[in-house]
Structure 1
Amino acid sequence: MRLGDRIAEVSVDDAVRASVSYDQLRTGDDGLFWLETRPDAGGGTTVTRWRPGEGKRDVSPVGFDVASGVHAYGGGSFAVAEGTLWCVGGDGLYRSRRRDDQVELIVPGCFGDLTVGDGELLAVRESGQGDELVAVSLTAAPKVRTLVSSLGFLGAPRPGPGWLAWTAWSERAMPWDACELWVAFYSSRGQVGGAVRLAGGPEESAVEPRWGPDGALYFVSDRSGWWNPYRWDGHRVEAVAPIAGECAAEPWELGYASYGFLDDGRVVVAVQEGPRHRLVVIEADGIIRPVDLPYTSIKPYLAVRGTTVALIGSSPTVAPQVAIVDLADADPQVEVLARSEHAGLDGARVSTPTELRVRMASGREVLALVYPPTGAAADWQAPVIVRAHPGPTASCLLRLDWQAQFFTSRGFAVVDVDYLGSTGYGRVFRESLYGRWGLDDVDDCAAVAVHLLSAGRAVPGQVFIRGASAGGYTALHAVAQDGPFAAATAVSAIVDPDRWAQTVPRFQRAHAKRLRGGAGRVRAAAVQRPVLLIHGTADEVAVVEDVRELADELTSLGMAPEVLLLADVGHYVASSRRAGAALEAELAHYRSVMADAAND
């Protein structure tokens, strides 16, 4: 796609169609495979294969939505072995033989983190009683047996030479807070024995185990304050290389692969530093060599084969792409395999961000990405939309977001804030929001807004805040006090942390309990500005009843909010078939507030 030739409003349809999502990139027995989620096709997810000389094509059956609900957020929902696609649907584990384009239900239940071993498939199976690691034989009549059981959570079953590695964490913890790495003796079609904990504990998150070509077990631990790579050679654990950055993503989903091994044993790693990602190669002597790429955002799905690494990358001017990077030479060659672009946006100019750092009274800095109105002059002044990301452990990322461009092409500035609790700044920063949720995150977003007003960038009375999920809670509390915001949009919002801790899926209950204790429930009587509530009726993470109750309370107080309830839509509104309706409602909300202010 060529960018920068023309300025035009990004239509709702174009913004949605261009928001194709790529995930779970992995190598298979005859190519590269990944998931594609296409909002313009109803939000369904398919498995796509790419092979040299053939290009890409869908390989999952038409109309079958590949999706895992394990641990609420899924992950590792497919694997390919011996010409057969194994994948997770809404009600169990399926097998699809490509010759007949049909799916066969193998085992009912909730599965994820599918991994191919020696003649068998390993997976995590979740139930109301806890987790199991199971093995499924790759036979005409598959048999399932349990390898490990836990009342808590399990992940990352990774078979090695005579070993099995996996991760485990308590139902009282989140994997980014306290995650253990275990190994045990194991042979294909056998049972595990002699299990030993290698790393992790109450103050350490050890994630993403992977067996290296040298026979050692590699993993990522934040024992230094950053998620960095380590290796276990069968006798002791040692650091691979110290990096002042996050070498793993916050593990909301199973199946992440933030690093891999080139055929010469070098380790290739995606590193996050604040809002930026970069790719590095760790040489045999521990020297860290950066790889020059056109991407500033890299998803935690690296697929390494030979001298090449496949990745999902993007930048402020490059929409997400699936690409292969050849690392055989000092000058890496990049081949793009798939682009999440739309012909209607060809030649459209985009707004590119600048980094803004605002110092708080405590002395720490808050980083924000400021997207000016598309085509704005250097001295621009505009209405501003401050966005509080979800999580709240997520972060603002330097990648092309057509839904942000939808607003910048209409004269708004969009500002993403890495408030306290975000990932990309180390363990201490990530944990500092516990017990302060709804307070420090709100203060950080407000400080950025006040700075933009003081600098003459934001138009007084036209500064808005929006957030999704945990960010929706932030947005609602931001307008429940005096501050710079004229209105709020809350998408899939959490309203009452105490009630949420009871209704949230079991994976996230520990998170809810650690976060709460700050601002408490969003009280309708405290809300001082207009609110738009957007929520899916099928949301299982933040139930719609809480939002309905808040809307009723606001209405009874004479502050009736705008409400958009999306039938049969889950927690992820932006990737649903109703994403366009949500964008239109949000734009209308801001314009209505601006019009009312102009008429006063």
Structure 2
Amino acid sequence: MRVADRTAEVSVDDAVRASVSYDQLRAGDDGVYWLETRPDAEQGTTVTGWRASDGKRDVSPKNFDVGSGVHAYGGGSFVVAEGTLWCVGGDRLYRRRLDGDELELVGHGCFGDLTIGDGELLAVRESEQGDQLVAVPLTGAPRMRTLVSSPAFLGAPRPGPGRLAWTAWSEHDMPWDACEVWTAAYSPHGEVENPVKLAGGPGESAVEPRWGPDGALYFVSDRSGWWNLYRWDGLTVEAVAPIAGECAAEPWELGYASYGFLDDGRIVAVVQEGPRHRLVVIEPDGTVRPVDLPYTSIKPYLALRGTTVALIGSSPTAAPQVALVDLADIDPPQVEVLASPEHAALDGVRVSTPMELRVRVAGGREVIALVYAPTNSTADWLAPVIVRAHPGPTASCLLRLDWQAQFFTSRGFAVVDVDYLGSTGYGRTFRESLYGRWGLEDVDDCAAVAVHLLSAGRALPGQVFIRGASAGGYTALHAVAQDGPFATATAVSAIVDPDRWARTVPRFQRAHAMRLRGGAGAVRAAEIQRPVLLIHGTADEVAEADDVQKLAEELTSLGIAPKVLLLPDVGHYVASSRRAGAALEAELAHYRSVLADAANDQQGLHSGQR
């Protein structure tokens, strides 16, 4: 999609239709494959493939929604090998010949992290009793064997030369807090023998094990304070290339691939530094060479073959796209775009590009924010400002084209994304410093950015709003439960009561809920001081709608009825759902209503003075 200088408002329909999502990119057979979610499509998420011989095409059945609910957030929900698609749909595992039509049921359960071994499929299977690593032969009857069992959590089954590697973490930890890498002797169709732990444990998150072409086991550990790459040669563990940046993403999902191996011995890795991602090549001697690419955001799904790497990249002027990068020569590399959102109505539309803002807060910390000015503004713009608190709260600002943000900037709003305390991209200490301070430090950081914009003459009092989703919704609600710069809050899929949430959240996230709580506590209706808009899906299993409905009832009984939009059959991810347009329209109407009320109040004040 070409972004140029044509001035236009981004309509709701255009913002939604252009928000195509690409995920879980991986190599298979002689091509690359990925999940493609088209918000305006009826069939949901499809597996799409690209091969040099026949280009791009869908390879999953029509009207079949590919997706895994393993560990609540999914991941690794398909793989392609030997002309067969293996995929997860709901609580079932299927396989299907690419040249056929019928899906064959392989097994029941909650599966994820599908991986191809030597003549077999490996996967994680979750139940309320715990996790298993299972194996299924690629051909013949789909007989499923259990290799490893745990009452807690398992991930990343990765076969190597005579061995199997995997990750494990306890029910008292999140994988970004304490995760272990294990390995054991293993031959295909055999049993796991003599398992040993290589890395990880309390205070160390070791993730993404992967066997290199040299026979060594590689993994990413944050033992230095940053997620960096390490290598185990069978005897010792050594750092591959120390980098002051994150060489892995916070593992909310299974199946991430933040690094991989070229066939000439070089390693390719994604590095996150604050809100920016970059691609680097690590030479055999440990030298780190940056790759000059037109992307500032790269998802943790690299698929390598030969001297090429496929990736999902984006920038402030390019929505996420699937690209093939030839690294035979990285000065400069050759880039071929395999898939990108195409929506003619937005072709050539001018967009707002962000400015990085640094604001110093109490204790001498700096908070980084990305400021998107109104699309057609001048250098001295003054506008209503929407401060966005990202979800997670371990997520981070994404330096990429977001058409739903452009929906607001094209209407004269400024949008500001804040990397508050707890965000990923700043090291382990920064990430875990929000524990026990949730609803306090995150709120203070967002407020500090808002106050800075007010004092800098970018916004007027009464025209600064805060908006957040999931954990960010909790932040937004607490921000208007105290005196501060925000005139209103929009809370999408919000967490309301951390204690109750800890009892109702899926088992994967219970440890997170327990560690975060202890700061501001539950959102109390009696403390809300500004108008709020509550948007929630009725099928949300991560943050149940009951808590939001109860808050709305309490606010109504106090005479400050909130605006509420309940979305039938929508889960936790409203922005990528089929009701995303309704949510955008409600949010815009809410801000305009607050601005209108403020204008009327101001007019009444002037009339009284006369």
* Shorter-chain TM band: over 0.9
Distance 1:42 1:426 in 2: 40
What SS does the aligned partner of 1:573 have? coil
Could you say which residue in structure 2 is the equivalent of 1:316? Answer: 316
Distance 2:126 2:553 in 1: 36
Distance 1:176 1:42 in 2: 35
Could you say which residue in structure 1 is the equivalent of 2:383? Answer: 382
Could you say which residue in structure 2 is the equivalent of 1:216? Answer: 216
Distance 1:390 1:339 in 2: 25
Deviations 1:291-332 (A, max 9, x none): 000000000000011000000000000111100110101320
- Across the aligned residues of Structure 1 and Structure 2, the Cα RMSD in angstroms comes to 0.7
What SS does the aligned partner of 1:587 have? helix
Distance 1:590 1:428 in 2: 36
What SS does the aligned partner of 1:521 have? coil
- Whether the 8 Å CA contact 2:205–2:222 is kept in 1: the answer is yes
- Whether the 8 Å CA contact 2:227–2:245 is kept in 1: the answer is yes
Deviations 1:342-382 (A, max 9, x none): 11100100000000000012100000000000021000000
What SS does the aligned partner of 1:40 have? coil
Could you say which residue in structure 2 is the equivalent of 1:400? Answer: 401
Q: How does 1:171-190 map to 2 (within 5 A)?
A: 171-190=171-190
Distance 1:574 1:430 in 2: 25
Distance 1:228 1:555 in 2: 50
Q: How does 1:113-128 map to 2 (within 5 A)?
A: 113-128=113-128
What SS does the aligned partner of 1:510 have? helix
Distance 1:404 1:134 in 2: 42
Distance 2:7 2:201 in 1: 53
Residue 418 (structure 1) aligned with residue 419 (structure 2): yes
Q: How does 1:314-353 map to 2 (within 5 A)?
A: 314-329=314-329, 330-353=331-354
Could you say which residue in structure 2 is the equivalent of 1:225? Answer: 225
Task: Give 1:92 deviation, angstroms.
Answer: 1.0
Letter in 1 for 2:497: D
- Whether the 8 Å CA contact 1:181–1:198 is kept in 2: the answer is yes
Q: How many residues align?
A: 600
Q: How does 1:543-554 map to 2 (within 5 A)?
A: 543-554=544-555
Residue 446 (structure 1) aligned with residue 409 (structure 2): no
- Whether the 8 Å CA contact 1:317–1:399 is kept in 2: the answer is yes
Distance 1:54 1:296 in 2: 30
Task: Give 1:96 deviation, angstroms.
Answer: 1.3
Deviations 1:190-246 (A, max 9, x none): 000010000001000000000000000000000000000000000100000000000
Q: How does 1:96-107 map to 2 (within 5 A)?
A: 96-107=96-107
What SS does the aligned partner of 1:548 have? helix
Could you say which residue in structure 2 is the equivalent of 1:569? Answer: 570
Deviations 1:108-132 (A, max 9, x none): 1100000000110000000000000
What SS does the aligned partner of 2:234 have? coil
Q: Which stretches of structure 1, 4 residues or longer, exceed 3 Å deviation after superposition? A: none
Task: Give 1:401 deviation, angstroms.
Answer: 0.3
What SS does the aligned partner of 2:363 have? coil
What SS does the aligned partner of 2:34 have? strand
Letter in 2 for 1:420: L
Which has the higher mean CA deviation after the structures are superposed, 417-426 or 52-61?
Answer: 52-61
What SS does the aligned partner of 2:40 have? helix
Could you say which residue in structure 1 is the equivalent of 2:605? Answer: none
Q: How does 1:432-443 map to 2 (within 5 A)?
A: 432-443=433-444
Change in Cα spacing, 1:43 to 1:378, as seen in structure 2 (3 Å) is: farther
- Whether the 8 Å CA contact 1:319–1:341 is kept in 2: the answer is no
Could you say which residue in structure 2 is the equivalent of 1:129? Answer: 129
Could you say which residue in structure 2 is the equivalent of 1:481? Answer: 482
Could you say which residue in structure 1 is the equivalent of 2:148? Answer: 148
Change in Cα spacing, 1:512 to 1:43, as seen in structure 2 (3 Å) is: farther
Runs of 5+ unmatched residues, structure 2: 602-610
Change in Cα spacing, 1:283 to 1:396, as seen in structure 2 (3 Å) is: same
Distance 1:340 1:137 in 2: 37
Letter in 2 for 1:494: I
Task: Give 1:91 deviation, angstroms.
Answer: 2.0
What SS does the aligned partner of 2:555 have? helix
Letter in 2 for 1:270: V
Distance 2:466 2:43 in 1: 26
Deviations 1:62-91 (A, max 9, x none): 011000000000000001121110000112
Task: Give 1:99 deviation, angstroms.
Answer: 2.8
Distance 1:552 1:361 in 2: 36
- Whether the 8 Å CA contact 2:218–2:232 is kept in 1: the answer is yes
What SS does the aligned partner of 1:458 have? coil
- Whether the 8 Å CA contact 1:73–1:253 is kept in 2: the answer is yes
Deviations 1:35-80 (A, max 9, x none): 0011011471000010114211000000110000000000000011
- Whether the 8 Å CA contact 2:43–2:64 is kept in 1: the answer is no
Q: How does 1:149-164 map to 2 (within 5 A)?
A: 149-164=149-164
Distance 1:474 1:295 in 2: 30
Which has the higher mean CA deviation after the structures are superposed, 4-13 or 92-101?
Answer: 92-101
Give the TM-score, by structure 2 length.
0.98
Letter in 2 for 1:75: G
Letter in 2 for 1:559: I
What SS does the aligned partner of 1:445 have? helix
Could you say which residue in structure 1 is the equivalent of 2:12? Answer: 12
- Whether the 8 Å CA contact 1:115–1:122 is kept in 2: the answer is yes
Change in Cα spacing, 1:492 to 1:43, as seen in structure 2 (3 Å) is: farther
What SS does the aligned partner of 2:131 have? strand
Task: Give 1:153 deviation, angstroms.
Answer: 0.1
Distance 1:229 1:281 in 2: 12
Letter in 2 for 1:538: A
Change in Cα spacing, 1:561 to 1:42, as seen in structure 2 (3 Å) is: farther
Distance 1:395 1:368 in 2: 10
What SS does the aligned partner of 2:460 have? strand
Distance 1:335 1:2 in 2: 15
Deviations 1:233-284 (A, max 9, x none): 0010000000000000000000000000011111000000000000000001
